[in-house]
Homo-oligomer: A and B are copies of this chain.
Amino acid sequence: MKKSLQEIAVYLGGTVSGDGEILIGGLATLDDAGDGQLTFLANPKYAGKVATTKAAAVLLGTGGNTHGKNAIFHPNPYLAFAKLLTLFYTAPAAPRGIMDGAFVAEGVKIGADVSVYPGASVGAGVTLGDRVILHPGVVLYPGVVVGDDVTLHANVSVRERCRIGNRVTIHDGTVIGSDGFGYAPDGTSYYKIPQIGIVVIEDDVEIGSNCAVDRAALEATRIRRGTKIDNLVQVAHNVVIGEDCVIVSQTGISGSTQLGNHVTIGGQVGVAGHIRIGDNVMIGAKSGVAGSVEPNQVMSGIPVMPHREWLKASGLVPRLPEFRKTLMTLEKRVAELEKELAGKSSR
């Protein structure tokens, strides 16, 4: 596919500087772009590279320095570039239907234009929307409901009766709806509490690979519209994650905790159970959140404190040996002063 710089500018809602007639056939980074390729500058740190890139044209923030290159100005060049990547590189594959080697049980409702690959398993009473793609090894347990335009990558499994909305993508190996971790101590051992709830994944959610999202004990673990979850994330039973949250890799959220909307959680964070994280909260990587957090806070540390405090406090930890030494020296000096003063007084 080739498009003129002018066509691309119109598509993006930007404006051309230089030759709008040149044809663009692909996209690349500032360093790698060459003939017929468009590149972009999102991070001002790399502004110097605009002068030296071999790209045919550059996407720049409105009013950026073109260094004499052909350019498109756009208020959000990063978003604009992402939209071009979609335009140039993500043509949807033709639907394949139910392929030989796919296992589809009785009583399944299947929408239009689906692709069910060999080795995928669709249990009894499942509902699949239109344009659903189930890659090899996907397992849908009985009663699962999947909306339209959903892609489940290889070896994803979705347990009994869980519900997945529209335009959801789940990457390879992720498990939706395994049993929540609940046991009642019966004196010496543990009695399993049946987990009879489900998981509900709302529209426009994306979940990375090898995550685990547990089903609720009685009702629903819920991931709301637009939330994005990275790889190897744990979501325990009865958790509710709000809309447009971003949860980075290897984070774990304990049972019954509720996240508001637009919450951002860094990598390897642990969030305790039965707490509430307010809207727009940001939690720094590797933090431990032991209690509820009010909206609009930026927090870090184990346990978390306001991020600025954490920056100061954590920077002082390496100086503890020095502080200890100063403290001991001061104790001696004060004792010396006390002795001296006592001597004077008794004189």
Contact = CB atoms under 8 A, between A and B. Distances in A.
Given A119-B137, A121-B137, A219 B82 contact: no
Given A231-B214, A232-B234, A320-B313, A181 B208 contact: yes
B252 A186 contact: no
Interface stretch (A7-15, A56-64, A107-115, A190-198): A190-198
A181 B228 contact: yes
Contacts of A285: 270, 272, 288
A32 B219 CA distance: 9
Copies of this protein, total: 3
A257 to B, nearest CB: 12
A41 B116 CA distance: 46
A187 to B, nearest CB: 9
Interface residues of A, number: 111
A320 B316 contact: yes
A117 B319 CA distance: 58
Contacts of A141: 135, 154
B178 A155 contact: no
A24 interface: no
A230 interface: yes
A189 interface: yes
Contacts of A338: 333, 337
Contacts of A188: 244
Contact of A314 (B244, B268, B302): B302
6 contacts: A79-B191, A135-B141, A137-B155, A189-B244, A270-B286, A309-B321
Interface of A: 27-29, 32, 76, 78-79, 81-83, 85-86, 89-90, 101, 103, 117-119, 121, 135-137, 139, 141, 153-155, 157, 159, 169, 171-173, 175, 178-179, 181-186, 188-194, 196, 204, 206, 208-212, 214, 218-219, 226, 228, 230-232, 234, 236, 244, 246, 248-250, 252, 254, 267-268, 270, 272, 285-286, 288, 301-303, 305, 309-310, 312-314, 316-321, 323-324, 326-327, 330-331, 333-334, 337-338, 340-341, 344-345
